[in-house]
Amino acid sequence: MISLAPVQAAQAPAAFAEKIATFIAVAKDRARNGLTLSEFGELTVALLQVVMTTIDVLPVTGEEKKVWAVDAAAALFDAFADSCVPTLAYPFWLLSRAAVRAIFLHVVSGAIESLLPLVRAKAAAAVSLPVENS
């Protein structure tokens, strides 16, 4: 029998990118009046949950999965970070944006490591069948 694994692996990046683009588009629609820093944090955690549940089942290495997750967080940052900055602080933001982005991506990288067991436990609980008491 011929394996479909290479075909599925080739389709995985496109499907993953489409899912992230959809998440960001829906978030942009909901945040059209601006975002607070707290709301941006909530979006980041929600994105990481979506990303981790999606890529956890893909047939790629753990390091590749982490790179995809960090890239998705970078896309979220690029889409929303500017809208979280008050107008008066915007000149300072322009000077510090690159450094803040780098720090954000390092934090996300660490968050992936700590959120992954929680996401896997949640997925396992959702899949497990209820046990009947005799």
Residue pair 59/5 in contact by the 8 Å Cβ criterion: yes
Average pLDDT over residues 107-129: 77
Q: Residue 83: enclosing H or E segment and its boundaries? A: none
User: Is the pLDDT at 78 greater than 70, yes or no?
Assistant: yes
Question: 86-107 b/e with 16+ CB inside 10 Å = b?
Answer: eeeeeeebeeebeeeeeebeee
Is residue 4 in some structural domain?
no
Is residue 46 in some structural domain?
yes
Is residue 94 in some structural domain?
yes
At residue 100, the pLDDT reads 92
At residue 81, the pLDDT reads 84
Is residue 132 in some structural domain?
no
Is residue 17 in some structural domain?
no
Average pLDDT, the chain: 79
Domain that holds residue 66: 35-125
Is residue 114 in some structural domain?
yes
At residue 2, the pLDDT reads 39
At residue 4, the pLDDT reads 40
Is residue 80 in some structural domain?
yes
At residue 120, the pLDDT reads 74
Q: Which of the four pLDDT bands, split at 50, 70 and 90, describes residue 105?
A: very high
For the chain, the domain total comes to 1
Please give the DSSP secondary-structure letter assigned to residue 131.
P
User: Is the pLDDT at 129 greater than 70, yes or no?
Assistant: no
Question: 50-75 b/e with 16+ CB inside 10 Å = b?
Answer: bbbebbeebeeeeeebbebbbebbeb
Of 64, 104, 49, 116, nearest in space to 80 by CA = 104
Q: Which of the four pLDDT bands, split at 50, 70 and 90, describes residue 5?
A: very low
Residue 55 tokens, joined:
């890529």
Q: Which segments of 36-89 does DSSP mark as H helices, in order?
A: 37-55, 62-80
At residue 51, the pLDDT reads 85
Is residue 111 in some structural domain?
yes
